[in-house]
Amino acid sequence: MKKICVVGSLNMDLVVTVDRFPQPGETITGREFATYPGGKGGNQAVALGRLGADVLMIGKLGNDLFGEQYLVNLKENSIVLDGVKVEEGVSSGIAVIEVDSTGENHIVIVPGANGKVDRAFIEGNWPLMEQRDIFLFQLEIPIDTVLYAMEKLKKAGKTIILDPAPARILPDEIFLNVDYITPNETEMETLTGIRIKDVDDLKEAGHWLIKKGVKNVIAKAGKKGAYLITSDDFVHVPGFSVKAVDTTAAGDSFNAGFAFALAQGKEIIESIRFANAVGAISTTAKGAQSAMPSLKQVEAFIGQQMR
Ligand code: ADP
């Protein structure tokens, strides 16, 4: 089995539930408070750990309580921690999330230590990274670092998966390094400037990315599953039918499932199918990392669906 590495963010999500949002200057009493480990990098690493992958995490936490809690969480999910640094003088990355009684939310993200994942950190961890085969990136660490690491990895002949989330416009140089890009519909529109109303638009947006140098576009499409777009192919890989409760981190679970299947030597369509299963299962319970399945669960789920 090939070895995997996630280069990305680690955030603690601080979730407050309220009846309604406060006005500016107003103080209200909330209903409940809870903390959940999150951040797209951490989510993808934990999903991989649950599946039983050999996964190295490259990222930073602050020297605070959240950092300590996050390290325990990574350890519990069997993630290789040699590339996780506790940075002095900065907080851990956090997201303060207020959810009201209608399910609407307000979110403030402070990147904290994630903002300190720089070129020097990649250089320092290069001996560890060099021993890995498949790399997952997202966009919650500095883009300069993402590009720097990708260019080094590309030269070393590694496989690179980019989840272009949160949605933003990217410099062209990024695309030249990417083997698999996995946008959802919003991210696809932001990246390409093409409004997606139907599959023809999706195909056009996919080809826009291919022309920029991406090898394979895997467009995530919620309950519809995903589409593979290459220079010659356009293939719909249908999603699994589930009763979705909370789609938080479905995209992260999908990416982890995809990387895991590739690492096992599966073909691309088969890997997308496996990713659809991991993504679908992750929507069937509340929370981000709490709903991520083990390999046994995924295999049982796929087995059931085929009956
Ligand atoms: P993101 O979470 O990045 O917005 P999607 O909503 O497209 O991305 O979800 C990612 C993947 O998770 C989908 O491609 C699909 O495989 C799976 N998925 C998401 N929502 C559902 C759902 N309601 N039913 C089944 N599968 C889902």
Tell me the pLDDT tens digit for each residue of 24-62.
Answer: 999 999 999 999 999 999 999 999 999 999 999 999 999
Give the closest residue to 295 by CA, choosing from 270, 307, 277: 277
* Eight-class DSSP state of 63: S
Q: How confident is the model at residue 307 (pLDDT cuts 50, 70, 90)?
A: confident
- Concatenated DSSP letters of 274-290: HHHHHHHHHTTSSSSGG
Question: Are the beta carbons of 62 and 92 closer than 8 angstroms?
Answer: yes
pLDDT tens digits, 195-251: 999 999 999 999 999 999 999 999 999 999 999 999 999 999 999 999 999 898 999
Q: Which helix (H) or strand (E) holds 73?
A: helix 65-76
The reply to whether ligand 1 has any atom less than 6 angstroms from the CB of 226 is yes
Q: Which residues are 57's β-sheet partners?
A: 6
**pLDDT in the model for residue 243:** 94
Pick the residue whose CA is nearest to atom 16 on ligand 1: 276
Average pLDDT over residues 278-302: 94
Q: How confident is the model at residue 187 (pLDDT cuts 50, 70, 90)?
A: very high
The reply to whether ligand 1 has any atom less than 6 angstroms from the CB of 83 is no
**pLDDT in the model for residue 286:** 83
Catalytic residue status for 252: yes
**pLDDT in the model for residue 83:** 98
Contacts of residue 86, Cβ cutoff 8 Å, sequence gap at least 6? 60, 61, 62, 63, 67, 71, 113
The reply to whether ligand 1 has any atom less than 6 angstroms from the CB of 258 is no
SS3 87: strand
Residue 285 has pLDDT above 90, yes or no: no
The reply to whether ligand 1 has any atom less than 6 angstroms from the CB of 184 is yes
**pLDDT in the model for residue 50:** 98
The reply to whether ligand 1 has any atom less than 6 angstroms from the CB of 177 is no
Number of Cβ within a 10 Å radius of residue 119: 14
Which of 139, 186, 223 is the best mutation target for the ligand 1 pocket, counting ligand atoms within 8 Å of the beta carbon and taking the most?
A: 223
CA of 201 to the centre of ligand 1 (A): 19
Question: Are the beta carbons of 98 and 109 closer than 8 angstroms?
Answer: no
**pLDDT in the model for residue 136:** 99
Phi first, then psi: give them for residue 53, nearest 5 degrees: -75, 155
